[in-house]
Structure 1
Amino acid sequence: MSSPLNLSGWRHVYSGKVRDLYRPVDLSTGSGTGAAGGTQIPEDRMLVVASDRVSAFDHVLSPGIRGKGELLTTLSLWWFDRLAGGDGGRRIPNHLVADHTLGADDEPHSLIPDEVSGRAMVVRSLDMLPIECVVRGYLTGSGWAEYRESGTVCGIPLPGGLEDGDRLPEPLYTPAFKAPMGEHDENISYERTVELVGEDAAAALRDRSLEIYARAATTAEAHGLILADTKFEFGTDADGTLTLADEVLTSDSSRYWDAAAWAGGETPKARMASFDKQIVRDWLVAHWDKHGTPPDLPAEIIERTADRYRELLERLTGGSH
């Protein structure tokens, strides 16, 4: 994993599989430098920087995908705006805050350093809940593997006769307990979620996740896409408000398929023409036994994956990236 950057006004505090987190430098200690314009960044702010790293099967792979961090950040910002009321629905609170401030010269200055411009977000610090909120609208991946064995997905019984890639009778909320980096997230029951965060918070996480999925799936459908599944993370702010955080509905956190291919495909692979890192997963399955260090990704796999990420962003937003 690449070393964290030395960013003016910010100090590195954590690196995940893909994102690096920074908190404001404490100028009162005399260490570090302030933001542009000599302004102290509010202490409740954080800088979330999306790297070009790519992960699969709980491993960070090498090499990264050039430009991926900017593509992910752009798509997250677009979805945050839609969910804040830009799609005509009710506002879903999120952790974004203004990425500029007035400096000592009374001029606006960006809080995002030039080195990470385009791939960073300034956000509020939240009390993060330890639940990964997964919503599945279609049967695939680990859900398909479990269904073949037991007729269930995360222990939830499903009708017989479903095939890989089929639409589920209704979207399923299948939470997971977030594990430390390098360990597998643990699928848990809704009842276990209640034990971990309380009945009110568990219900709010479930209901909010299903609401966001339904809105996003409708938007995707209007652009000729299927949102097969996705995952969300939430925290609470100082007032206890449930707040959408991290990334949202990106190619890394979601499975998107081409709707026309899904409708006309005769095989699961043809049906699930994906706009996510499934290309990477498929290559790894064919070339790695999931033991030891994963092999380096070939240039062709990196290029194809980047192209699909870019195409998804262009199809959803109507822009060229």
Structure 2
Amino acid sequence: MKTITGTDIKGLKKISEGKVRDIYDMDDKLLIITTDRVSAFDHVLKEGIPYKGMVLNNISNFWFKKMKDIIQNHLEKTKFDNFPEKLKEYRDTLYGRSILVKKAEPVKVECIVRGFITGSGWRSYKKNGQVCGIELPDNLKESQELNTPLFTPTTKAEEGHDENITFEEMKDFIGKELATRIKNISISIYEKAKEYAKKRGIIIADTKFEFGIHDGELIIIDEILTPDSSRFWPLDEYVVGRKQKSFDKQFLRDWLDETGWDKNSKPPSLTSNVIQTTSAKYLDAYKKLTGKDLIEELDL
């Protein structure tokens, strides 16, 4: 299977090249291609992860459709065979990893929902008993489930890191009505996804969403509930009081940590074992969530 780490669609303007996704202008739509690029510690690594882009693309599509009773999404076409004729010569690049979506005006806030205390939230709690300014009960343990999910928005920075803001600041930034609606939708999606995933053997510890306005309507955009935008933990290995194993690139991040890399210089080359193990974790997440083998489903 060819690993796609870059794209070049002739005749289309590339309007964005992110850490993972390339976005092209298609007049009234956007073409979004999810590559196999992988980033860690703010560096895009030289090597790609086989099937990663396909996993992220198809998990997002799965969740977008499952959440339509809560909010509409930006999807227009998800199957390559239904794409315009001018894209057909790029099958090797686009098949299984691309979508055509509505153009929307992004809401300039990232919406993070935390159902378990982990990561930066745990570090903040240990320091001052709070997560993003929200007071939490005493004596919580690492990776413990919270009684009520926390909504902790951040600004969307054009460059550098996003910055945490309070919900009150979010209301001042985008308006009380829109902020309240987005908060309620974000928590509803998370809770529905958490209950579904738990039955499939996955804990969704936290996640982030992005929203946009299309034809005056609020819709959900970008990606949704993927191993890159969420923390997925195996339910059968979950133990409160410690860090958890995951279905995402955490294995790769841990390996980079162990190499002694200073995080500022050029990243070390990934070993074949790290690449294949990380790929297998993404594929496993897809199979657990959907009940389908992605390679068989796409006939790869």
Asked if these proteins are the same fold (TM beyond 0.5), I'd say: yes
Q: 2:268 aligns with which of 280, 295, 301?
A: 295
- Partner residue, 2:298: none
Q: Does 1:279 align with 2:251?
A: yes
Q: Does 1:312 align with 2:285?
A: yes
- Partner residue, 1:154: 132
Q: How does 1:1-321 map to 2 (within 5 A)?
A: 3-7=6-10, 10-24=12-26, 43-84=27-68, 90-98=69-77, 113-114=90-91, 115-181=93-159, 183-238=160-215, 240-262=216-238, 265=239, 268-269=242-243, 272-286=244-258, 287-321=260-294
Aligned equivalents of 2:263, 2:225: Cα separation in 1: 27
Aligned equivalents of 1:203, 1:167: Cα separation in 2: 24
CA contact (8 A) 1:138 1:165 kept: yes
CA contact (8 A) 2:111 2:151 kept: yes
Aligned equivalents of 2:53, 2:80: Cα separation in 1: 24
CA deviations over 1:234-282 (Å, ceiling 9, x no partner)? 00012x21110011111111111111211xx47624xx22111211222
CA contact (8 A) 1:101 1:110 kept: no
Report deviation, 1:6: 2.2
SS at match of 1:268: coil
Q: Given residue 232 of structure 1, which amino acid in structure 2 is its aligned partner? A: F
Aligned equivalents of 2:60, 2:214: Cα separation in 1: 20
Aligned equivalents of 1:120, 1:133: Cα separation in 2: 24
Report deviation, 1:225: 1.2
CA deviations over 1:123-170 (Å, ceiling 9, x no partner)? 000000111110010111111111111111112111111111111121
- Partner residue, 1:38: none
Q: 1:14 to 1:285 in 2, by over 3 A?
A: same
Report deviation, 1:290: 3.0
Aligned equivalents of 1:111, 1:213: Cα separation in 2: 35
Report deviation, 1:208: 0.9
CA deviations over 1:288-312 (Å, ceiling 9, x no partner)? 3333333333322222111111001
Unaligned regions of 5+ residues in structure 2, if any?
295-300
Q: 1:233 to 1:161 in 2, by over 3 A?
A: same
Q: Given residue 11 of structure 1, which amino acid in structure 2 is its aligned partner? A: K
Q: Percent identity?
A: 41
CA deviations over 1:203-236 (Å, ceiling 9, x no partner)? 1221111011011001101111110000011000
Aligned equivalents of 1:3, 1:233: Cα separation in 2: 24
Unaligned regions of 5+ residues in structure 1, if any?
25-42, 85-89
Query: Which range moves more in the overlay, 140-149 or 59-68?
Result: 59-68
TM-score, with normalisation over the residues of structure 1?
A: 0.83
Larger radius of gyration: 1
CA contact (8 A) 1:137 1:168 kept: yes
User: Which structure is higher in RCO with an 8 Å CA cutoff and minimum separation 6?
Assistant: 2
State the superposition RMSD in angstroms. Answer: 2.4
CA contact (8 A) 1:139 1:164 kept: yes
